[in-house]
Amino acid sequence: MNPNSRLKSRITAREPVIGAFIKTPHPIIVEIMGASGMDFLVLDAEHAPFDRGSIDQMMIAGRAVGCPLIVRVPTTSPDWILSVLDAGAAGVMVPHVNTREQAKDLVRMTRYGKGGRGFAGTTRAAAYAKRPFSEHLAETANETTLICQIEDPEGVDNFEEISRVEGVDALFVGRADLAVSYGFDGFFAPEVTEKSNPILGAGGCATGLYCAPGENLGPLRQAGATFFVVGSEHSLMAQGASKIAEDFADAGAH
């Protein structure tokens, strides 16, 4: 079982897995973070300057250290989804999924079949033509994780239906966007928790969310979450550097 299919099997079995966002489009970041012991990393092409070339380089680094990479795509266009999957991504995280119909379209885009993902047998995902045609067709569904983000009022209304679409592997709660869209007072507002917890307990698939470094994951696990993205290389670097500076200042004060 390769790293991509292993990750998908763990997510769909609702085993606890932990990763982090990557915001810097340089393969050394993946090389370092991918060797940290995390189960996966998410390249944030929605909010960071990734293009097809930089994603391709990140995939090479991920494979070098055996770390599966999911890409949070900036749009649901088939060309974006096709390009990151051909590059060897373990899956896609799709923002602002609001309806069952949208989720079904995403499943179609990520799988081979009539009207679905375009086939190319010479990509990294197909082992550069070393993988037999029939094997690649058969195994792709086992290696591709589809994660739908719930972060709008319409998505909250429809999350249970979305979770039960065959081919949707996980729901990812966007607490920050929920706070913005509902007009709540911040990421940790009690009203955000009230909206988030029922989604984390969705019956149709695994669920997860972004967490701040150091946040207590216990209540989120109890609510049903098993897929955790904790911080990013930016927040982890800033937190680590600040701690060193604070410790140095404290030592100097004594």
Sign of CA pseudo-dihedral 142, 103, 46, 147: negative
Residue with tokens 């067709």: 137
Per-residue exposure over 16-36, b if at least 16 CB sit within 10 Å of its own CB, e if not: ebbbbbbbbbebebbbebbee
Q: Evaluate whether 146 touches 169 at the Cβ level (below 8 Å).
A: yes
In angstroms, the Cα distances linking 78 to 12, 23, 74 are: 24, 23, 12
Q: Is 151 exposed, middle or buried (0-12, 13-18, 19+ CB in 10 A)?
A: buried
Q: What is the dihedral of CA 129, 130, 134, 138, to 10 degrees?
A: -100
Pairing of strands 91-94, 145-150: parallel
Cite the active site residues: 47
